[in-house]
Amino acid sequence: MNKVLVSLVALLAATTIVPAAFAQQVASAETSRIVIAPPQSALARTIKAGLSAAYYGARPDTAAQAEAQRLYFLYGERHFEPIWLSQGVDGSVAFSPAAGKIIALFENAAAEGLDPADYLTPSISRDKLNGDGIALATLETAFSAATMRYANHIHSGRIDPQSISPLLDIRPKPIDEAALLERLAASKDPAAILAELEPKHPEFLALKAALASFEQSSAARPTPIGDGPVLRPGNSDARLPAIRSRLNLAASTSKLYDDLTVDAVRAFQEGQGLEVDGIIGPATVAALNGGAATRREDIIANMERWRWMPSDLGDFRVFVNIPEFRLWIERNGQPEYTTRVVVGTTKNQTPIFSDNIRHLVVNPYWNVPSSIIRGEIAPAVLNNPGYTDSHNMDLLYNGSPVSPWQVDWTQVSASNFPFRVRQRPGAGNALGQIKFLFPNKHDVYLHDTPSKSLFSRSFRAFSHGCIRVQNPMEFADALMANEPNISRASLEAMFGSSERWVNPQAQIPVHLAYFTLRVDADGTIRSYGDVYGHNEKLIEALGLHHAADPAIVATAEPVPDELSP
């Protein structure tokens, strides 16, 4: 839209004749839907000339050209008369009542977690009302641009998720801008129409309420607990006085992690659903930084991510929150089942996206991703051809198994490894006894695992990107609640050495999400570690003047590498 306005200003004095290429597109449009009415006033003729010039000045097949065309059609249907400007009998020009109400929204944009400066730009200042026809036409279209910018921000967010990370694979939620402008132009309450665009999820609304109370409160807020080494009983650390204060213990300047503080930490961990071990690691630090210690910028960043989410999450859905290391099945917004999960490491991050669970696979093969083959399996096989047999794996060449003992390994290298690899069903299979498929370009899914020990940890980012489910058969039973012919018992009856595919009648929406703040039903804000750093990058992109805070970026204690998705 900004490119449209640049073209408009630069070429506004151009001929009022619609360019031939534009005329051809207008002529080829569906005549029952698009009517270009002739302008009936000097201001309308100037608006038409400006929109025509903007289209002509835009490069073909670009967003700028498409926006110019949409604006041309919208204004053409109304004789190119202005939407946001009104002219008095004395010839004076003022903002229309609708424009006045939208300006009030722009001024209050901070309450929505937005930046008023994104909309109250110099190009729509009131002093432009005293300009000539060209200036007024520029003002009119600039106001439309600001309004659409606000609409898109409130609906889909200010920041492109892909600019934060390519693993934020989030589908855009486009708005029919022409239809929206038309509704706004005809409405006596444009604010209500724009309010329809914001997310309706209770947690988004709770965060919005928390932002309002944050701005209104003059109470001092605790400073976030800083980053540092994992603290075990008996350690010393400069953060201990602040931690005691956060736990409402008696004030003390001691830097020793004593028994009294350990007991308070254990009680806190139990209340937060963390592993009750008295060890202050990244997950416990993140939890301590919730509640009253929640930062304003965290609230706004999480509101932004809710705007990225699909408008309709589905009545019966699976919701995985990566920083929380937990999964839910929800029906009509209410949780029906929850369990712990293990997600990808910071090196092999679980992508963020929404899809639909289509298949359950019992006794699954594990088709090893090419990245793991190159990085781990190929070097191991080159060193020891018996590696695949010892791990219950097949080498596949052109889709057929081949014996590693029949390969001339002197002709093969890790960078030129011509085989696919799969692990056969069995007790040691990396996917366990069942996987839940929502086919996607990332080759990521939910699955069982034979490695159960990691579920007891508070920090659970240890996979190659797939999501391991702690209680997969309980999850499967809850997931199939709407399927009369599929149950936990029927799935367990399939256990064996042969892969079995089960296809539910209905696809189930699944959302792999990334929220560092969650809001309980009573309004309590819980904080979780920024395991992949997405939150801090978003805060920076939003211009919330905050340098990355290592207290919020979680780091794991080292654990041995394991061959598993």
Mind telling me the catalytic residues? 447, 466
Q: How far apart are CA 550 and CA 536, in angstroms?
A: 9
Rounded (5°) CA angle 253-284-547 = 80
- Alpha carbon distances (Å) from 381 to 272, 370, 389, 406, 565: 45, 14, 10, 13, 19
> What does the alpha-carbon distance between residue 85 and residue 43 come to, in Å, rounded to a whole number?
10
Spatial CB neighbours of 65, under 8 Å, sequence gap ≥ 6: 55, 58, 59
Residues 457/284, Cβ–Cβ less than 8 Å: no
- Interacting residues of 124 by C-beta distance below 8 A, sequence separation 6+: 139, 142, 143, 146
Alpha-carbon separation of residue 418 from 373, 395, 445, 549, 550 (angstroms): 10, 10, 25, 45, 43
Instruction: Return d(Cα 505, Cα 16) in angstroms, integer.
Output: 58
Long-range contact set of residues 187-194: C-beta below 8 Å, sequence gap at least 24: 187/98, 188/97, 188/98, 189/101, 190/98, 190/101, 190/102, 191/101, 191/102, 191/104, 191/105, 194/102, 194/105, 194/150, 194/151, 194/154
Sign for the CA dihedral angle at 354, 359, 365, 370 comes to negative
Q: Are 42 and 85 in contact (CB under 8 A)?
A: no
